[in-house]
Amino acid sequence: MQSVYIPPRRKTKVVFVQLGSPEAPTPKALRKYLRKFLGDPRVIDIPAWKWKIILNCFVLPFRPAKSAKLYERIWDGKSFPLITNTANFTESVREELKKIDPEGYVEVNHAFLLSPPYVNEVYDSWEEDLKNNVGATKLMVIPMFPQYSESTIASGVDALGKELSKRVKIPTFEVITNFHRTHAFIDNSVTQLDAKVKELKKEGIEIDKLVISFHGMQKRRVVFKGDDYYRHCYETYRLIVDRLKHFKPEQTVMTFQSRFGREEWITPYTEEVVENLINEGHKELMIYSPSFVADCLETTDELGHELAKDAKKWGGNVHPVECLNTNEQWCKDFAKYVMTQAEGSAQDKEDIEYRLKADDYDHMPELAMNQS
């Protein structure tokens, strides 16, 4: 008797994609990690022949040993914060979805570009589900970077496209390229910041200034290539500071961290702003990095350790605010966001984001290349 094909019921497989971390805090593991990460033309967008020489002759022989020492400071003996937080966040969102989606129309997984589980492993699991007639009919990818940039989101899209090029079965799919204006992200960031102020006040610490620090990017990518990243950062900054209870907008400043190489990056630079603020008498500074939703090397070590140490040397204190990580309300709200993206109407999707007015951009500093 001939078997009858029964189409699967509607179901969306949502994959949270993060960059990933090295296998271990060792020069060997860092060399492997950096070769793959820095070898991505979306991450380093200079001519391939030139970068290949720089990478193999000047970066990989020296940087892995230095980076390994930094990663060792955030290693818990088994894993790194980014890996652990992403896995736990996904599990928490999954549990929240069971409450609002008892029929199971949406399932969530996580994958990393540079660590297991890789994107191809999640794809393999989907194909295996198809054999058992329980596979999803749609794939939705949410890179866990709030703001769009070519070096993060486009890199992830490239990885997905490369994976799709190897496959026969391809589902209907969608990529969410940013979520920095969502109520889930903005409201929980504001709550996180206000809670930190209260916590510090209980310790007798009055914060003078709030530094909102974004991951850096080469300035030319915004000025000449039209990357949306800078605008998205400003929108994030504006939406957060306008909703804070304990800070006036003028008590806050937007900065950029994590420079690499000799190019001019988006300014102002975080470490320079912090030093200047302390020299001006603002001794107690709070710092938050909404480029990330999970703590990683850039937040835990670069801000929480290196910058905090420098601040003390300059005569002040930096109080880092954790990323949203697995905050209970954040997980609940992101589960609702995922459900809306997967199953909501067009109007539902309009209502999950804040909107900015034209005059909200009046104070956005214009970027220009340094002519000197």
Residue 225 is classified by DSSP as T
Output Rg (C-alpha) for the chain, integer angstroms: 22
Q: How are strands ordered across the β-sheet holding 172-175? A: 106-112, 12-18, 138-143, 172-175
Residue 53 is classified by DSSP as H
Distance CA 139, CA 152 (A): 19
Locate 257 and state its tokens: 């961290």
Hey, is 96 helix, strand or coil? helix
Alpha helices in 73-182 (DSSP H): 81-100, 119-131, 155-164
Residue 293 is classified by DSSP as S
- The Cα-based distances of 371 to 151, 174, 264, 315, 368 in angstroms read 25, 41, 11, 33, 9
Q: Does domain 15-175 have CATH number 3.40.50.1400?
A: yes
Hey, is 304 helix, strand or coil? helix
Q: Specify the pairing of strand 284-288 against strand 252-257.
A: unpaired
Distance CA 8, CA 262 (A): 53
- Following CA atoms 204, 208, 212, 218 in sequence, which dihedral angle do they give, to the nearest 10 degrees? -130
pLDDT tens for each residue of the chain, 372 residues long: 555 555 567 899 999 999 999 999 999 999 999 999 999 999 989 898 998 999 999 999 999 999 999 999 999 999 999 999 999 999 999 999 999 999 999 999 999 999 999 999 999 999 998 888 788 999 999 999 999 999 999 999 998 899 999 999 899 999 999 999 999 999 999 999 999 999 999 999 999 999 999 999 999 999 999 999 999 999 999 999 999 999 999 999 999 999 887 889 999 999 999 999 999 999 999 999 999 999 999 999 999 999 999 999 999 999 999 999 999 999 999 999 999 999 999 999 999 999 999 999 999 999 988 865
The confidence score (pLDDT) of residue 213 equals: 98
Distance CA 253, CA 209 (A): 8
Residue whose tokens read 């030093």: 275
CATH class for the domain made up of 183-326:
alpha beta
The confidence score (pLDDT) of residue 134 equals: 81
The confidence score (pLDDT) of residue 131 equals: 83
Hey, is 336 helix, strand or coil? helix
Q: Specify the pairing of strand 12-18 against strand 138-143.
A: parallel
CATH 3.40.50.1400: which residues of the chain?
Answer: 15-175, 183-326
Hey, is 294 helix, strand or coil? coil
* 270 in Cβ contact with 256 (< 8 Å): yes
- Closest C-alpha among 167, 163, 145, 164 to residue 154: 145
The confidence score (pLDDT) of residue 8 equals: 63
